[in-house]
Amino acid sequence: MKVSYYPGCTLKTKARNFETSALAVAEKLGIELIELSRWNCCGTVFSLTDDDLIHHVAPIRNLIRVQEMNKNGLVENDHRLVTLCSMCYNTLKRANIRVKEKPDDLKKINDFMYLEEDYKGNVEVIHFLELIKDIGFEKIKENVTNPFKGLKIAPYYGCMLLRPKEVGIDDPEEPVIQEELIFALGAEVIDNPYKKVCCGSYQTIRDKQVVSNLAYDILTHAQNAGAEAISLSCPLCAFNLDSRQKEIKEKHSDFTRIPVFYFTQLMAIGFGLNEDYYGFDLNYVNPEPLLKEKNLIGRNNAK
């Protein structure tokens, strides 16, 4: 199955491990994620201002690329666009909904982008987790050759996968999609009431302390419930929950570091894929000691 795929800037820089692991597990599942041949920044933040159409130009331009992928035969009559980064997912999806609901806005945006073909409003923005759910968690189970055997993992959603409700990939209050995935990989799911609490997002640039305080609450609640690792899907959440453990440790000497994984890294481990796809060099807290202790890596892994 070939599907158009939008990586986003961070997956090409600070979160390359998210992309390499995702492409590898997708291939294992028989999904070919075809990167858009030309793409630009998703727009990063969905503009809520009523007449601020210029900030919707970037996401809509990317949706036009999906039309082009179909026209050029790179995908076959498939207008889905798969995203990995939660922030890109949120921005692209909300912009898509906005122009579908407001044809006048779409006309203005199309007129402004007169060098492009018109966006016809027929693209569906989805998150990779939704694609996995469509394939079925049974299929995931079938591909597990290196089961987690009860490793305790707490899923973290943050904001962008769930809110606002109309773009959420799951119930905004009681999401279970990551739980089902983690369960299918043979791990134990640890529930954490802080799994939907904001990580502090871009405040991380302005005020590290605000973010490390939030991260401390999120991580320690998971740890108190028994979690040995965190699973998530957003490079910014990953930065705040993973790299900011440095600041947490400086403030709370009794804090124990906890590895933070992209869900696709967990899948790559569970599928027993080549360790080159894990990309742990970009993780701040090195997950290898934990994985070795559980005998999940360092074995003779087949591809």
Partner 1 sequence: MPNKEETSSDKKLDSKEIMDRIAEASRQVVSGVEDEEVENWVTIYIMGRAYEVPADLTILTAMEYAGYKFVRGVGCRQGFCGACSTVYRKKGEYKLQTGMACQTRVEDEMYLVQIPFVPAEKPSYDLTEHEYDVNVLFEYYPELARCVSCNTCTKACPQDLEVMDYVQAAIKGDFKGLAEESFDCIQCGLCAIRCPSEIVQYNIAQLGRRLYGRYDSPEPEHLKKRLEEIEEGKFDKEMKEITKLSREELERMYAERKREED
Residues that bind partner 1 (CB under 8 A): 9, 12-13, 38-41, 43, 54-55, 57-58, 61, 112-113, 115
Shortest separation between residue 49's beta carbon and partner 1, angstroms: 13
Closest CB to partner 1 among residues 58, 197: 58
Closest CB to partner 1 among residues 40, 295: 40
Measured distance CA(37)–CA(72) in Å, rounded: 10
Contacts of 74 (CB under 8 A, 6+ apart): 2, 4, 34, 37
Shortest separation between residue 43's beta carbon and partner 1, angstroms: 7
Cβ atoms of 69 and 220 closer than 8 Å: no
Closest CB to partner 1 among residues 201, 231: 201
**DSSP per-residue string spanning 85-117:** SHHHHHHHHHHHHHHHH-HHHHHHHHHHTTTSP
Shortest separation between residue 40's beta carbon and partner 1, angstroms: 4
Measured distance CA(28)–CA(139) in Å, rounded: 11
Shortest separation between residue 64's beta carbon and partner 1, angstroms: 11
Shortest separation between residue 303's beta carbon and partner 1, angstroms: 27
Length of the chain: 303
Sign of the four-CA dihedral 262, 267, 270, 272: negative
Beta bridge partner(s), residue 87: none
Shortest separation between residue 44's beta carbon and partner 1, angstroms: 8
Instruction: List the beta strands (DSSP E) in 63-217.
Output: 80-83, 124-127, 152-155, 188-189
Closest CB to partner 1 among residues 47, 265: 47
Shortest separation between residue 8's beta carbon and partner 1, angstroms: 9
Closest CB to partner 1 among residues 1, 54: 54
Residue whose pair of structure tokens reads 């979160």 in the numeric block: 15
Closest CB to partner 1 among residues 112, 183: 112
Closest CB to partner 1 among residues 113, 144: 113
Q: Is 172 helix (H, G, I), strand (E, B) or coil?
A: coil
Measured distance CA(201)–CA(302) in Å, rounded: 38
